[in-house]
Amino acid sequence: MKVMLINSPNPVGKDKRNANFALFPHMGIVQLATRVRKSFEGEVEVKIVDGGIYPLEKILQQITEDKPDLVGISVLTPSYEEGLKIALYAKESGAKVVLGDDHAIFFPELILSKRPYVDYIIINDVGEQPFVELIESLLGRRTFDRVCSLAYRSHGTIKQNPKKAYNLSDLNIVPDLDFIAKDLNIYSDRYYQAFGHLHGGPIKIVTINNARGCENWFKRCSYCSIADLRINCGSPKQFWSTVDSYHENYGINLFFEVYDSFTASPNYIKMLLDAMPLHIASKIENGDIEFMVYARTRGLLRTNTMEYLRRLGVRRVNIGLDSGSSKMLIAQRKNHTTNETNIEALKLIQQNQMTVHGSFMLGALGESEETAQQTLDHIKQSLTEVTFSSLEISMLYPLPNSPIWDILINFDKPQFYRSKAEIDEVLATMGIQVSEAVRQDIALRYKSEDSFNSEQLRNDWYKNYTHITQDYVQERILEVDRLLEPQRVRTGRNAG
């Protein structure tokens, strides 16, 4: 059996790419491939194609050449349309098609009802075991109703099998970099062109994902659409075994732990320190191994956190600073984050000789010209406090499975608010008034869709739920770009 795993491309133009766009491998499909090969030994052949570095045409060509029996496609909301093109082509080429990742998890029934060329959807954020069970079914060893977390068609109806919560401490296989060995230099070269000046020598990079979740899981940020935010930590021993193996066998010396966010688990950080082998500690001290992590400012301000990160070899920190307005930070549900905590955290980062990738956003619920200007002033102050490796300011884009999606689309049956009445209270607090007719009209436009016109969706949000225009936001973004240009700080955009 031949299996091809594809990370769907994000077709955004250069003016809409975030600062870290396609600089790191998509390790989710590498982990999936590793698990399949381990489970089926020589029975199943697996190949990987990352749309982050290969265009759609190359992916389709690879399908033609390899003739896979099963094509698995990872789709996020911004990459979903390209994923559908791949799915259709794969189906017409004779393959079974399965979708996974966040966007597919959000809309399994809609996708299967509208897209006859999609056969299955894995509706679990930890998809390795369900994917293996799906292959077992295709090999005739298991019935489809016994595949965990699978959405599929059966006798004219759409079925969704129960989901299971998998613990990474029990089930977190180490991705085999042999699957992407030929591509590792592509990522590293791209990274070095962007950020090589921050390092003392050549850099070889990879992402590592030994833990998942966020400390804000109980009240997620207004724009957050991550499928599963529960804290889920893997084995510290396995973490260091992976680092050691990648460093020795592939020369990897910069590891981006994409746990969102790393500061969510103080106990896990301490366990990593306690489990760190002496020879790894020596390499970190000598600068031979470095780490990059996601963090929240309030997490960084906990006692001992910065000391622990320094001992772990963290040299770059990704932070969603989001706004310079306390009012907007509340609107974004930032869980007691303030301008003051942001600045305090940036000062600590600078004291510990780390650099920051910082991101800001304009267009939260109730955003006004006054609050946007406060954000620009905050950016200017932040630049005096810390060395930024990159700083991006983006237009808010409403994403499914977020509190903003509840406000805009699912207000009658919200997922992240107690009721429509609570949403109405939030709107009133932010000075937003939208007639019921307009709200229902917007909701009807998207409720039965699995793909969206991004410009129309953004227009609906800015016109009705903010006090600013998109043109005003674009002007402020250009202002930040001009501010950063002489400082060798990389800029970017978040596209969705």
pLDDT at 18: 65
| Confidence band of 21 (pLDDT split at 50, 70, 90) | confident
* Cα within 13 Å of Cα(204), Cβ side: 16
Domains and CATH numbers, the chain: 2-160 (3.40.50.280), 177-394 (3.20.20.70)
264 or 130, higher pLDDT? 130
Alpha helices (H) in 196-304, listed in sequence order = 236-250, 266-275, 278-285, 297-300
Q: Comparing 76-90, 206-220, 404-418, 421-435, which segment has the lowest mean pLDDT?
A: 206-220
Non-local CB neighbours of 478 within 8 Å, separated by 6+ positions: none
What is the reported pTM?
0.93
Average pLDDT of span 145-166: 95
Using the 8-state DSSP alphabet, how is residue 484 labeled? H
Please report the sign of the dihedral spanned by the C-alpha atoms of residue 55, residue 188, residue 17, residue 443: positive
| Confidence band of 495 (pLDDT split at 50, 70, 90) | very low
| Confidence band of 224 (pLDDT split at 50, 70, 90) | very high
| Confidence band of 165 (pLDDT split at 50, 70, 90) | confident
Predicted confidence (pLDDT) per residue in 94-107, tens digit: 999 999 999 999 99
Average pLDDT of span 362-384: 95
337 or 352, higher pLDDT? 352
The answer on pLDDT for 15 being more than 60 is no
| Confidence band of 187 (pLDDT split at 50, 70, 90) | very high
Chain centroid, CA 22 distance in Å: 12
Q: What does each C-alpha distance from 395 to 372, 416, 474, 479 come to in angstroms?
A: 11, 22, 8, 14
The answer on pLDDT for 56 being more than 50 is yes
Please report the beta strands in 323-407, taking only residues with DSSP state E, as ranges in sequence order. Answer: 355-362, 388-395
pLDDT at 494: 47
Average pLDDT of span 226-231: 89
Q: Can you tell me the distance from the alpha carbon of 316 to that of 290, in angstroms, rounded to the nearest whole number? A: 8
The answer on pLDDT for 217 being more than 80 is no
Pairing between β-strand 150-154 and β-strand 157-160 as defined by DSSP bridges: antiparallel
Residue 466's nearest CA partner among 330, 321, 334, 328 is: 328
Predicted confidence (pLDDT) per residue in 386-443, tens digit: 889 899 898 999 999 999 999 999 999 999 999 999 999 999 999 999 999 999 999 9
pLDDT at 264: 87
pLDDT at 173: 84
Average pLDDT of span 295-318: 93
Residue 365's nearest CA partner among 336, 401, 320, 322 is: 322
| Confidence band of 206 (pLDDT split at 50, 70, 90) | very high
Q: Can you tell me the distance from the alpha carbon of 251 to that of 33, in angstroms, rounded to the nearest whole number? A: 22
Q: Comparing 55-59, 174-178, 457-461, 481-485, which segment has the lowest mean pLDDT?
A: 481-485
**Are the C-beta atoms of 297 and 341 separated by less than 8 Å?**
yes
The mean of the pLDDT values for the chain is 93
pLDDT at 496: 39
Q: Is the peptide bond before 261 cis (omega within 30 degrees of 0)?
A: yes
pLDDT at 16: 56
At 54, the amino acid letter reads: Y
At 316, the amino acid letter reads: R
End-to-end CA distance of the chain: 35
Residue 175 backbone class (left: φ over 0; alpha: ψ -120 to 50; beta: rest)? beta
CB count within 10 Å of CB 93 equals: 15
Residue 274 backbone class (left: φ over 0; alpha: ψ -120 to 50; beta: rest)? alpha
The percent of residues in the chain predicted with pLDDT above 90, rounded, is 80
Angle among Cα 20, 23, 27 to the nearest 5 degrees reads 110
**Are the C-beta atoms of 240 and 210 separated by less than 8 Å?**
no
